[in-house]
Structure 1
Amino acid sequence: MRRSRAVALGVLALAAVGGAGFATAGLGGGHGSGSSGGPKVPATASVERTTLTETQKVDGTLGYGDTTSLSAASSGGGGGGRGGSGSGGGTITWLPSPGAKIARGEAAYRVNNRPVPLLYGKLPLYRTLKAGVTGSDVLQLERNLAALGYGGFDVDKEYTSATADAVREWQDDMGMDETGQIAPGTVVVAPDEIRVAERRAQVGDRASGPLLTYTGTTRVVTIDLDVKYQRLAKIGATVSIDLPDGGSTKGTISDVGKVATQAKADQPTTVKVTVEVGRRRSLGGYDKAPVEVYLTASRHSSVLAVPVGALVALPGGGYGVQVVSGPSAPVRTVKVDTGVFAQGEVEVTGSDIAEGTKVVVPA
């Protein structure tokens, strides 16, 4: 029977076997007991042919990823296209609460009781868009208008009178000034739906400077990964995640940072790794919580393995297992060479070891 096992790298034989005795680990085998008057039959397990997987355990944080600051008097901020453009001047009359999610076309905040809606894109609004203007920012606006259900114009890089008509209709529906133009500060631009992380201003403040921070809306695991393990972090690779409540789930590495940083002189240099979580229902209500992530280091296919507890330390050095040939046959110790250790099992080779061989394990 094939099974896959995983464990953190660096599991040593010394940790598996104490002195000349047994370790407390392993799988259940064929357990038995002798009659009240006869010798006790040892508990056994069969040598299996299986796949052992080595992993490296690292610390991660379950949350909504990096935060980005949204500023009222800014034409964009933050790296990687995650900055927002906002409104400068006026008085803040409404701000969303932390945890609120804001989608395309919804107000990110209000100034002078006028909404400043969210549009999706990568280009900040750096100039006034009006009839006669052309460029990628026009295309970005028209794609948003089309997604919001407005039409009558070609979705291209030209801001025509038809585009202006659609903008006026949208502004009217939103309760904005019906100018037919989009000026810097009248919309917020972000790549996708956002989730408010923290307020940086209060209702009644002047609409200038940082107003709030936001994240994406999907929970992810972020890892500040020691660069010595960077080779283990491959985009698309599957990882296991241990959750604070004792449960576990699977995830997929979606991004590996290209910039290494060192927070303090006595701390390791790290790169940021992002893991998307597959079964999000398994995450419960955690907003931000520490988790343990297991990165796959290597897989050893079709190897012979026994429970780690089956190993005995030999007087002359090395390890062996106690082989049981039959109910009445004497137990004999057979020297083995050990390979990879993986969560309760260890790869073994030896002239007297074959698949199905019965070995003694601690009861």
Structure 2
Amino acid sequence: MTEATTEETLTGEPGAEPEPHRRPRRTRRLLAALGVLAAVGGAAAAGAGLQDGGSGEDRDDRRPPATAEVTRQTLRDSRTEDGELGYGTSTTATGRVPGTVTQLPEAGERITRGEALYRVDDEPVLLMYGAVPAYRELRPGAEGRDVAQLERNLKALGHDGFTVDDTYTEATADAVRQWQQDLGLEETGTVEPGRVVFAPAAVRVDTLDTEEGATTAPGQKVLSYTATAQAVTVELDTADRRLAEPGAKVDVELPDGTRVDGRVSEVTTEVDPGNGAEENPSTKVKVLVALDGAKAQQAAASYVLASVDVSFTAGEREDVLTVPVAALVALEGGGFGVEVVEEDGGTSYVPVETGLFADGRVEISGDGITAGTTVGMPA
């Protein structure tokens, strides 16, 4: 490139002298960088000098095309998303006892510990509380967590004479025979696979997958169930994953405008493979929000299924200095700055550190930056 070509590129006029100090540019690359920072909740970016290595004192007699003031405020990284009020994740109960289905519950029915989920050949398949699925026959000599949770349930149902631990003893077998006698089952002292379904707590029957009179076999779906407490399900884009940390408090607005407290109880990532040419694969973050307390549950009780608004807050900074995100400029030496407009009309570029990004604004701090400081903005 010739010297004339270089000067024309910088100034637009052949042979003109290049400007001694070029403005830092608000480019699309800057906005892309800010988007990344915003996605992770903001980051500290200390200015390492202006584009030409200056110290922030370089002046420019041209005023920026627009200006904004530095303001002091509380900044919240929050978002309101659509949610579906229901009963949370549904779990399928599959049959393991072969025979004919002779009794099913109704959809919406509540089943508690010791009650029958359904009956096969007129014998009950019973609900007990526990985290370990029933996966084997339990008999004297068995050891494990499933034994301990069976014994806890037997004791809660009023059977005793054994020690609650992880060992199935003859004393445990005697308690099982008492339990079987109460239910009209054969008194074997062993618990056959499929006779008990373990769930964390009481359940609500969601859907029925078979009908009375139908035959059932191991692995066949019988019904599905949910928790009994109402909850809200929300789908988030992966870029908004930061909004939903387990245990985080949220605000839920019901269809009648009532606002109740909620809490993020579960966060899972689900991948939809798509269907080939017409639909690309996608990833969503599925969030389960529990309604906290009896007051919230009572307020939601009149809605079986409903659309609600859920407000998440990922971060909050009180009493901080903020500017519009567009006021930031990328400094050639690294980091970010703002173009401070002086009272005499001149400007100077001042390096700043950034904090929380929210609602189109960003927390900043830097030498000489105070509330009311005027900064440059793009047109």
What SS is found at the alignment partner of 1:212?
A: strand
| Distance apart, 1:102 and its partner CA | 0.9
Structure 2 gaps of 5+ residues are 1-34, 36-70, 323-355, 360-369, 375-379
Query: Considering only aligned residues, what root-mean-square deviation do their CA atoms show, in Å?
Result: 2.9
Q: How many residues align?
A: 255
1:220 — aligned with what? 231
Give 1:50 shift: 6.1
CA contact (8 A) 1:50 1:302 kept: yes
Q: Which amino acid aligns with 2:299?
A: S
Inter-CA distance 351–155: structure 2 relative to 1 (3 Å threshold):
closer
Q: TM-score, normalised by structure 2?
A: 0.61
Choose the corresponding residue for 1:172, options 159, 162, 181: 181
**What does residue 97 of structure 1 align with?**
106
Q: How far apart are residue 187 of structure 1 and its match?
A: 1.7
Displacement of 1:299 in angstroms is 2.3
Q: Secondary structure of 1:145's partner?
A: helix
Map 1:1-363; keep pairs closer than 5 Å.
Answer: 51-73=74-96, 87=97, 89-208=98-217, 209-257=220-268, 259-262=269-272, 264=274, 265=279, 269-278=283-292, 279-302=296-319, 349-350=371-372
Unaligned runs of 5+ residues in structure 1 are: 1-9, 11-47, 74-86, 306-338, 343-347, 353-363
Would the alpha carbon gap of residues 239 and 136 (structure 1) be closer, same or farther in structure 2, given more than 3 Å must change? closer
SS, match of residue 182 in structure 1: coil
Q: Supply the distance in 1 between the matched residues of 2:149 and 2:288 (Cα, whole angstroms).
A: 27
Instruction: Identify, as 1 or 2, the structure richer in helix.
Output: 2
Query: CA separation of 1:217/1:53 partners in 2, compared to 1, >3 Å: closer, same or farther?
Result: same
Query: What is the CA distance between 1:302 and its match in structure 2?
Result: 2.5
SS at match of 1:91: strand
Q: What CA distance in whole angstroms lies between the structure 1 residues aligned with 2:115 and 2:166?
A: 24
Q: Alpha-carbon deviation of 1:182?
A: 0.5
Of structures 1 and 2, the one scoring higher in RCO (CA 8 A, sep 6+) is 2
Deviation digits for residues 307-343 of structure 1, max 9, x if unmatched?
A: xxxxxxxxxxxxxxxxxxxxxxxxxxxxxxxx9987x
3-state SS of 1:166 partner: helix
Query: Which residue in the other structure is 1:38 paired with?
Result: none
One-letter amino acid matched to 2:221: P
Question: For the Cα contact (< 8 Å) 1:227–1:260, is it kept in 2?
Answer: no
Residue 49 to residue 102, structure 1, CA distance change in 2 (3 Å): same
CA deviation after TM superposition for structure 1 residue 131, in Å: 2.0
Structure with larger Rg:
2
What residue identity is the alignment partner of 1:154? T
- Per-residue CA distance 1:158-182 (angstroms, 9 max, x = gap): 2222111111111111222221110
**Superposed displacement of residue 125, structure 1:** 2.6
* Identical columns (%): 44
Q: Deviation of residue 191 (structure 1)?
A: 2.3
